[in-house]
Structure 1
């Protein structure tokens, strides 16, 4: 009678689970997504960056950095780490070249983002003068020249409104959504407007909307003082990517060779090459060897 294979089997399964767990965290974080550099507190996916940003920012197919809220997913156009801002594009938003009915836009209450310096303009509204919140008007009449400029855009005819007309300008509202509270929602249905646009810059042509820059700029907040934690700074200087271990959200430094540490990537090269694929291949070899051992043990026990 052959010896019982239970102890060996148990050891094999433990090692297999360890290898699988090791593979599952390997190579998940990157400091680049498409053409954008991704730094703390932003991350490319779960376990990367600051955990407070995990539901807001992700990398789609390693090609496009996406900002997500309850109203949709929006491509991130640029990031200014010195000012803690990101600029996003709403594909449903109107611009001078193309105007259409827009979906609502809003920020999540729990996300560490708020509207920054964008100028929001509501277009084709039924009665802008009646837009009030707690007795305060939501339309800034001192910037009515923006409305006149926008209604010179050829795209306005899609709403059946002649360009340059007084009727067109009177259905426009230069709008401050921060008056609606922390959610910063633009609910076009409740505002009785058809579409909106957001202006980042007038450039050198304050009266020519075809030359304006369109998009939505958001400011993000992290930490008590807005500074990168020293442990993360050390990690980035060692060519690592700051992240966190799920589910406790404890800090990890993800190294390019696939190793995760609690400090820095200095001295982590060791056996591994700079390519994380080498680590995956080696780990897969370990798994294959132990699967062979397991099969052999069972065959001997039969």
Structure 2
């Protein structure tokens, strides 16, 4: 009886240690696309990275693409130290090229991603060729209040001096309001929570950002693109560091979206040190497999005892 009780108690003590999902990953997560490192919280494979960044990045012929509800963008850089990334929209207007016709993507993030992913505060969006009925100009011209402004020293007054305006026949146009709204309206992302060109009734847009303490002389030297900041919860950050420190890859349960540490052929809800080594033909078993083996052994001994 004492022998039986020891087996049952020892087996029961192992059950709470079992970690992982029903289907363990047979590989670690991919960490690059072309020359860009893809690290936590991002990922290129299902189940990898933070669940809030799932189905966000895709790698096509070594080109890293970022996809949200407003469209797809090429990823130029990811800065993990400053938690920011730079995106390129092929129809984004620059100083040399003004793109109208509503061809640009704009920038609209899914509502459930907004706590983690938004353009940086120093990113100016300049909306171009918006109609007088645009939500931007509610009450114009009787109301003098409009959202247009400079952001981090960048705005439409300087942008009007770009050579690209000559190609659309609006050289230095829109310097005054005249009888209609300005041709260009600069603002930060927080002012509108989304750059939806159709909803805002605009023909195009430009986006530029600063990299302090760099100072440039004019719009021809601005950095054009969309600078996005990203973040994760402190608890998820700590979990990932512990996982990677033990040789695992940070991931999540694809059904319940809980955090998982991917450890080769098995997953853990803590880290890859949650494994008990047992000499079985010279191999080591993770605790879930080892626990199953011991439970089976207990059943065998229990049956033998009864017989």
TM-score (structure 2 length as normaliser): 0.64
Contact 2:134 2:200 in 1 (8 A): no
Contact 2:77 2:85 in 1 (8 A): yes
Matched residues in 1 for 2:246 and 2:43: separation?
17
Change (3 A) 1:132 1:221: farther
Contact 1:128 1:139 in 2 (8 A): no
Residue 48 of structure 1 and its aligned partner are, at CA, apart by: 0.6
Partner of 2:187: 175
Partner of 1:219: 229
Partner of 2:83: 84
Contact 1:253 1:265 in 2 (8 A): yes
Matched residues in 1 for 2:232 and 2:196: separation?
28
1:239-287: CA deviation from partner (whole Å, max 9, x where unpaired) = 43211233233443335xx43331545699x9xxxxxxxxxxxxxxxxx
Range moving further from structure 2, 160-169 or 113-122: 160-169
Residue 96 of structure 1 and its aligned partner are, at CA, apart by: 1.2
Instruction: Determine whether 1:161 maps to 2:165.
Output: no
Contact 1:199 1:216 in 2 (8 A): yes
Gaps of at least 5 residues in structure 1 are 1-20, 271-302
Residue 30 of structure 1 and its aligned partner are, at CA, apart by: 1.5
Matched residues in 2 for 1:130 and 1:41: separation?
35
Partner of 1:107: 109
Partner of 1:204: 215
Residue 89 of structure 1 and its aligned partner are, at CA, apart by: 1.6
Change (3 A) 1:162 1:32: same
Alignment coverage as a number of residue pairs: 239
Please identify runs of 4+ aligned residues in structure 1 that moved more than 6 A. 141-145
Residue 49 of structure 1 and its aligned partner are, at CA, apart by: 0.6
Matched residues in 2 for 1:141 and 1:229: separation?
35
1:67-123: CA deviation from partner (whole Å, max 9, x where unpaired) = 221111112222232333222222221111222123443111111312222111122
Change (3 A) 1:77 1:128: farther
Matched residues in 2 for 1:28 and 1:92: separation?
36
SS in 1 for 2:155: helix
Matched residues in 1 for 2:48 and 2:66: separation?
15
Instruction: Determine whether 1:65 maps to 2:73.
Output: no
Contact 1:201 1:214 in 2 (8 A): no
Matched residues in 2 for 1:149 and 1:78: separation?
26
Residue 133 of structure 1 and its aligned partner are, at CA, apart by: 6.1
Change (3 A) 1:40 1:249: same
Partner of 2:136: 131
SS in 1 for 2:203: strand
Residue 234 of structure 1 and its aligned partner are, at CA, apart by: 2.2
Residue 138 of structure 1 and its aligned partner are, at CA, apart by: 1.6
SS in 1 for 2:111: coil
Residue 200 of structure 1 and its aligned partner are, at CA, apart by: 0.9
Matched residues in 2 for 1:179 and 1:145: separation?
16
